[in-house]
């Protein structure tokens, strides 16, 4: 079971790093997947910089967690995903945004798997 969890988290880590690279190198190809249109100027810089950083940090921290088996590395990506799900939910509740069920479901699933990984895959303290 531990190997399955490690493998699933590893696949998500690779996926998230690839998203980060795509945001930085080919933003026109990934923006529509997130319901976004590329602007210009400062907005384009913010979109690419922030989303590229989000996904690269997410994937690389997951990789560090799996490679080192240190509990500490499981928490930052779990927090990023769970706060993203919270932010999407608040955007829907408070600001009339679309309720992004598929994205929230992935964020909750992978965030929960990371917390499970911190309990089961990390070296004992």
Question: Whole-prediction pTM value?
Answer: 0.94
pLDDT digits (tens, 9 = 90+) for 75-98: 999 999 999 999 999 999 999 999
pLDDT digits (tens, 9 = 90+) for 94-119: 999 999 999 999 999 999 999 999 99
**Is 86 inside a domain boundary?**
yes
Where does the pLDDT of residue 123 fall: very low under 50, low under 70, confident under 90, or very high at 90 and above? confident
**Is 125 inside a domain boundary?**
no
Q: What is the pLDDT of residue 31?
A: 96
Radius of gyration of the chain (CA): 15
Tally of structural domains, the chain: 1
Helices (H), 1-125: 2-25, 27-30, 41-68, 75-95, 101-120
pLDDT (mean) for 28-47: 94
Burial class (CB in 10 A: 0-12, 13-18, 19+), 80: buried
Residue 55 belongs to domain spanning = 2-120
**Is 99 inside a domain boundary?**
yes
The yes-or-no verdict on residue 125 having pLDDT over 70 is: no
């Amino acid at each position: 079971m531990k190997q399955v969890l490690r493998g699933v988290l590893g696949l998500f880590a690779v996926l998230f790093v690839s998203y980060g690279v795509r945001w930085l190198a080919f933003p026109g190809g990934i923006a529509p997947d997130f319901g976004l249109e590329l602007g210009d100027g400062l907005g384009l810089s913010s979109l690419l910089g922030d989303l590229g950083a989000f996904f690269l940090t997410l994937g690389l921290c997951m990789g560090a967690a799996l490679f080192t088996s240190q509990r500490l590395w499981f928490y930052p990506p779990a927090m990023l995903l769970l706060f993203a799900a919270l932010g999407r939910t608040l955007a829907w509740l408070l600001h009339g945004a679309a309720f992004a069920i598929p994205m929230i479901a992935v964020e909750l699933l992978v965030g929960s798997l990371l917390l499970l990984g911190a309990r089961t895959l990390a070296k004992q303290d």
